[in-house]
Amino acid sequence: MLLNEEICWAAVRERDRFQDGRFLYGVLTTRVYCRPSCASRRPRRENVRFYESWQAAEADGLRECLRCRPKQAESRQPDWLAGLCRRIEARCDEPLPLAELSRMAGVSAFHLQRQFKAATGLTPRQYVHQCRMALLKTGLRVGTSVTEAVFAAGYGSMSRVYEGAGAALGMTPAQYGKGGAGLAITWAVMRTRFGLLLVAATDTGLCAVEFGAGEAEMVDRVRCEFPKATMTPLAQPYPQPFHDWAAALEAYLEDRRAVLDLPLTVRATAFQTLVWNYLRTIPRGETRSYQEVAREIGRPSAARAVARACASNRLALLIPCHRVLRGDGELGGYRWGVARKQALLDWEESPAAGD
Ligand SMILES: [Zn+2]
């Protein structure tokens, strides 16, 4: 097995439990190794090394994390599990009834259900569904029709996919592909220390957070992104969950120490996802250059594309593209104005009350 570091690092950033059992990561500063899904604080990329086995990690002088217990987890895993997961991934575009999975694993359907769930936290059926979702998202992003993508992902019928797809994408597949048709977006404009801030959301997450000079112009921008969605303005007191999301943004703009980890509903290419996910790991008070981001996501020659991905971000603060600068220390661009970028950086770098 040859580890693809980019994929491994993405799995660690997302705490992707599907990658558990595939590799381990060690943190050179703490001298501990973990499973990809470990709940401990995410390390910095430059301190991380990937291992194929706990033996390899220990040979490097690292010790087992007491939180995710990689050695114990491995002994709990039935020996057919890893092979079965790989085969499901490879064949998830086919119908995979339980009887077929149990034949592939070489154990009874009863044992398969029970042991699969114990080891992964998911039923085999849910695992197949997750794999299909991953395939479906890729299909939609490259512009196939929804029907084609659904059938290519092994769903076999349109109704099956709607059962579970909405929750994972934040929009149903058709909405995801078609400018938000049928999508209900609510929005409000907040007054902040950096100017007016438009906050727009579906019921599953924030879809636009944009600074601007006037309400009409800001709402128009969201309309361009989701031309077929219905847009409803909200008044105080906001309904839930909008209330909590707006309150979290307000709290951040009051006291920059608040954590902005809110659900997002975005349309993104695979590359934008890679860049935006990375941006969300840059701590307040720190900056990176476009070049550094490109290197960190494993695309060292893509600095220009990184700059474009930053420019196309519609979620100010939540995806902190203001923390990315040009390599020569110049500010670079900012969708909401370079002066605002500088003001945000100055404010974030100054100590918050209680820091
Ligand atoms: Zn751990």
Active site residues: 34, 321
Q: pTM value?
A: 0.54
- How many Å lie between the centroid of ligand 1 and the Cα of residue 37? 8
- How many Å lie between the centroid of ligand 1 and the Cα of residue 40? 6
- How many Å lie between the centroid of ligand 1 and the Cα of residue 8? 15
Q: Same CATH topology for 81-177 and 270-349?
A: yes
Burial of 296 (0-12, 13-18, 19+ CB in 10 A): buried
Tell me the helix, strand and coil percentages in the chain, rounded to 5. Answer: 45, 15, 40
Q: Which two three-digit tokens encode residue 90?
A: 């490879």
Question: Which amino acid is it at 125?
Answer: R
Topology of the domain covering 5-76: DNA Methylphosphotriester Repair Domain (3.40.10)
How many whole angstroms separate alpha carbon 278 and alpha carbon 50? 18
Topology of the domain covering 184-249: Double Stranded RNA Binding Domain (3.30.160)
Per-residue pLDDT of the chain (355 residues), as tens digits, is: 456 787 788 889 888 876 787 789 999 999 999 999 898 888 999 999 999 888 889 988 999 999 999 888 777 778 888 788 888 877 877 888 899 999 999 888 888 988 888 777 778 888 888 777 777 766 665 555 556 666 666 666 555 555 544 444 455 556 656 667 778 899 999 999 999 999 999 887 888 999 998 899 899 888 887 888 899 999 989 999 999 999 999 989 988 877 777 877 776 666 777 788 788 888 888 899 999 998 887 778 888 889 988 988 889 999 999 999 988 878 888 989 999 999 999 999 887 765 5
Topology of the domain covering 81-177: Arc Repressor Mutant, subunit A (1.10.10)
Topology of the domain covering 270-349: Arc Repressor Mutant, subunit A (1.10.10)
Rg (CA), the chain: 22
How many whole angstroms separate alpha carbon 180 and alpha carbon 145? 15
- How many Å lie between the centroid of ligand 1 and the Cα of residue 63? 10
Long-range contacts of 75-81 (CB under 8 A, 24+ apart): 76/118, 76/119, 77/21, 77/119, 78/107, 78/115, 78/119, 80/105, 80/106, 80/107, 81/21, 81/105, 81/115, 81/116, 81/119, 81/120
| Domain range summary for the chain, segments of one domain joined by + | 5-76, 81-177, 184-249, 270-349
- How many Å lie between the centroid of ligand 1 and the Cα of residue 326? 35
Among candidates 289, 291, 344, which has minimal Cα distance to 317?
A: 344
Give the 3-state DSSP-derived string for 296-320, with helices as H, strands as E and coil as C.
HCCCCCCHHHHHHHHHCCCECCCCC
Q: Which two three-digit tokens encode residue 129?
A: 């569904």
